[in-house]
């Protein structure tokens, strides 16, 4: 019997079941909801069979782990060979306070560091900048100088620990701090490993912590690709992020499509510069959200690998590693509730499980108290223990891509792939990613999805435990809250004052002047940024030198 005949037979049997046993049961007992849907409001059928994966196409695209198109994972052994990096996102207050948190996490089994920066740092401002007043250390650690980074990693061997830094507009400068600090510790550039997020397109789309306009921002990003490939070969020079797109309210499909579109825009810009795809692309990485719907998220990750591999092959990739989509995952901050915050432990567990089943290379699990404040030590330890329990007790790491062949999972994987290519067509029709940003396409799509999601919660079409179902008005929340020491700001200001008073003024002036001249031309800016930060130029001074040439981005009125 041919595949087509087999599918026809299954279709008939399914139709008989639907009109008979299923309809009879629904008529007699009803169903719990009028409509079942994913977290992204995608309708879900009551049953999936081979006819939902037409002509068994998934068998053609499935292959094996470590083989094109990498649907089942980028490495042949996946988590049987090596567990994912347990990389908890952390940062608050001063570099000294965050350094203590890093040592606490490493002592409890964390295997990689991830730096959260405060808003002044994200916007390329020094901690004592008048525009930064009241924001020091509130949502991450305040970093304004090379000395801050040296303090942040004091007692932590930078050649031995992989570090991810969620920084975008001033990414090249903060990376310069990190490289210089590592060298001051005695590490060589080919020893240090880690990632700078460096994804400015998603800032214009979702998170909004930009500095420069798109064109010079893209130039800086390609500069880091070029410099990293030659000088810091084990460093991931970008983490193309869907996380913030999802946190802004997108659906899973929009997160996937918009993230991959951004990634392809970076690749095309680097190729246009003349960089070799097989040289720079293996150091590109991705960063995805893990939301509540287990199967939707798994389908998203599997489709992401498949699409990226196909697109890299179209662009001439010859090496398998060039076609790998390696990704870090963070559980969904937007899914956490201030009501009954202990429930967030369960949400995070489901989300972490989705990431692992989807083949993540690195994972952050959110803490139960993050809807209330920055995480306490107790909460962050529970979040780390969640990963360790998944790794050591659940059994899901014992075989690769264990849900492959599930009609529902394969359907969701195909659905995500098809939907992503439809979005690619829309973006191309608008003139590409940058023009689509200018026209507000991404922003409007996300806003519409966020509105629908919230509307469903308020109408009780979507249930959130503790919020609109199973509420507990008499609940006594007794969770310790991390408080930022107000003395930390004074410590930071004093450090900056001391730096400015003791450094070599002539060296600083020369380094910043040369950076400005390089920005006015077309030279790679990383060597000039490194010279400036080694001369003890602050973050704000270095970014201001670039602002004097590039200007600042102003979002157009699009709504």
Neighbour count for residue 317 (Cβ, 10 Å) = 20
Helix axes 171-184, 539-550, angle to 10 degrees: 140
Q: What is the pTM of this model?
A: 0.95
Q: Which residues of 371-397 are buried (b: 16+ CB within 10 A; e: fewer)?
A: bbbbbbeebbbbbbebbeebbeeeeeb
Tokens representing residue 480 in the block: 């310790």
Give the model's pLDDT for residue 51: 83
Per-residue pLDDT of the chain (559 residues; tens, 9 = 90+): 566 777 788 888 888 888 888 888 888 888 887 789 999 989 999 989 888 886 555 567 788 999 999 999 999 999 999 999 999 999 999 999 999 999 999 999 999 999 999 999 999 999 999 999 999 999 999 999 999 999 999 999 999 999 999 999 999 999 999 999 999 999 999 999 999 999 999 999 999 999 999 999 999 999 999 999 999 999 999 999 999 999 999 999 999 999 999 999 999 999 999 999 999 999 999 999 999 999 999 999 999 999 999 999 999 999 999 999 999 999 999 999 999 999 999 999 999 999 999 999 999 999 999 999 989 999 999 999 999 999 999 999 999 999 999 999 999 999 999 999 999 999 999 999 999 999 999 999 999 999 999 999 999 999 999 999 999 876 656 778 888 888 999 999 999 999 999 999 999 999 999 999 999 999 999 999 999 999 999 999 999 999 999 999 998 876 5
* DSSP annotation string for 178-216: HHHHHHHTT--TTT--EEE----HHIIIII----S-HHH
Give the model's pLDDT for residue 59: 66
Of 134, 130, 97, 133, the residue nearest 115 (C-alpha):
97
Of 113, 110, 86, 111, the residue nearest 99 (C-alpha):
113
Of 113, 141, 143, the residue nearest 484 (C-alpha):
141
Whether 208 contacts 167, CB under 8 Å: no
**For the chain, domain boundaries:** 60-458, 487-550
Give the model's pLDDT for residue 2: 67
Give the model's pLDDT for residue 480: 80
* DSSP annotation string for 445-511: HHHHHHHHHHHHHHTTSS--BTTTBS--TT-----------THHHHHHHHHHHHHHHHS-HHHHHHH
Looking at the DSSP bridge assignments, the partners of residue 189 are none
Four-point Cα dihedral 333, 336, 338, 343, nearest 10: -140
Cα-Cα end-to-end distance for the chain = 56
Of 280, 167, 185, 178, the residue nearest 228 (C-alpha):
280
Options 1.10.600.10, 3.40.720.10, 3.40.190.10, 3.20.20.240; CATH of 60-458: 3.20.20.240
* DSSP annotation string for 63-112: --TTSTT-TT-SSSSHHHH-PPEEEEEE--BSHHHHHHHHHHHHHTT--E
Whether 298 contacts 306, CB under 8 Å: no
Q: Hey, CA dihedral for 420, 425, 428, 430, is it positive or negative?
A: negative
Helix (H, G, I), strand (E, B) or coil at 426: helix
Whether 91 contacts 115, CB under 8 Å: yes
Helix (H, G, I), strand (E, B) or coil at 14: helix
Of 263, 197, 195, 198, the residue nearest 234 (C-alpha):
195
Of 544, 481, 557, the residue nearest 516 (C-alpha):
544
The gap from C-alpha 486 to its chain's centroid, in whole angstroms, comes to 30
Tokens representing residue 199 in the block: 């994804």
Neighbour count for residue 276 (Cβ, 10 Å) = 13
Q: How far apart are CA 101 and CA 87, in angstroms?
A: 13
Q: How far apart are CA 454 and CA 343, in angstroms?
A: 20
Q: How far apart are CA 528 and CA 493, in angstroms?
A: 26
């Amino acid at each position: 019997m041919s595949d087509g005949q087999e599918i026809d037979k299954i279709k008939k049997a399914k139709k008989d079941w639907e009109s008979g046993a299923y309809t009879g049961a629904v008529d007699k007992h009803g169903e719990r909801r009028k409509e079942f849907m994913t977290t992204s409001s995608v309708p879900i059928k009551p049953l999936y069979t081979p006819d939902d994966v037409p002509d068994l196409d998934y068998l053609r695209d499935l292959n094996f782990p470590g083989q094109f198109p990498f649907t089942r994972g980028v490495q042949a052994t996946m988590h049987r060979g090596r567990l994912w990096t347990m990389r908890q996102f952390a940062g608050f207050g001063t570099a000294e306070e965050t350094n203590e948190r890093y040592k606490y996490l490493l002592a409890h089994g964390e295997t990689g560091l991830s730096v959260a920066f405060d808003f002044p740092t994200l916007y390329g401002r020094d901690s004592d900048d008048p525009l930064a007043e009241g924001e020091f250390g509130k949502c991450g650690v305040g970093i304004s100088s090379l000395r801050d980074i040296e303090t942040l990693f004091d007692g932590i061997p930078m050649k031995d620990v992989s570090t991810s830094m969620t920084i975008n507009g001033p990414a090249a400068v903060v990376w310069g701090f990190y490289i210089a600090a590592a060298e001051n510790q005695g590490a060589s550039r080919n020893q240090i490993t880690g990632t700078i997020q460096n994804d400015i397109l998603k800032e214009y789309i979702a998170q909004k912590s930009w500095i420069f306009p798109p064109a010079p921002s893209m130039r800086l990003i390609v500069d880091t690709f070029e410099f990293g490939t030659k000088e810091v070969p084990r460093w991931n020079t970008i983490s193309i992020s869907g996380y913030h797109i999802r946190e802004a309210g997108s659906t899973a499909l929009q997160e996937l499509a918009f993230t991959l579109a951004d990634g392809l825009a970076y690749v095309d810009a680097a190729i246009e510069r003349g960089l070799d795809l097989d040289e720079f692309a293996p150091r590109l990485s991705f960063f995805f959200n893990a939301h509540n719907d287990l199967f939707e998220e798994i389908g998203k990750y599997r489709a992401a690998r498949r699409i990226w591999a196909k697109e890299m092959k179209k662009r001439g990739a010859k090496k398998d590693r060039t076609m790998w989509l390696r990704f870090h995952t963070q559980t969904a901050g937007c899914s956490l509730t201030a009501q009954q915050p202990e429930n967030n432990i369960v949400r995070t567990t489901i989300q972490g499980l989705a990431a692992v089943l989807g083949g993540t290379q690195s994972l952050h699990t959110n803490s139960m108290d993050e809807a209330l404040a920055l995480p306490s030590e107790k909460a962050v330890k529970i979040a780390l223990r969640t990963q360790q329990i998944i790794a050591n007790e659940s059994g899901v790491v014992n075989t690769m891509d264990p849900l492959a062949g599930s009609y529902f999972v394969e359907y969701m994987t195909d659905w995500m792939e098809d939907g992503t290519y439809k979005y690619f067509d829309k973006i191309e029709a608008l003139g590409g990613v940058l023009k689509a940003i200018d026209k507000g396409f991404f922003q409007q799509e996300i806003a519409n999805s966020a509105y629908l999601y919230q509307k469903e919660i308020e109408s009780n079409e979507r249930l959130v435990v503790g919020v609109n179902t199973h509420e507990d008005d008499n609940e006594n929340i007794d969770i310790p809250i991390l408080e930022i020491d107000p003395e930390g700001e004074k410590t930071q200001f004093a450090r900056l004052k001391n730096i400015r008073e003791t450094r070599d003024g002539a060296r600083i002036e020369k380094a910043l002047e040369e950076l400005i001249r390089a920005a006015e031309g077309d030279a790679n800016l990383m060597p000039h940024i490194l010279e400036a930060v080694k001369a003890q130029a602050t973050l704000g001074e270095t970014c201001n030198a670039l602002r004097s040439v590039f200007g600042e981005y102003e979002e157009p009125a699009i709504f």
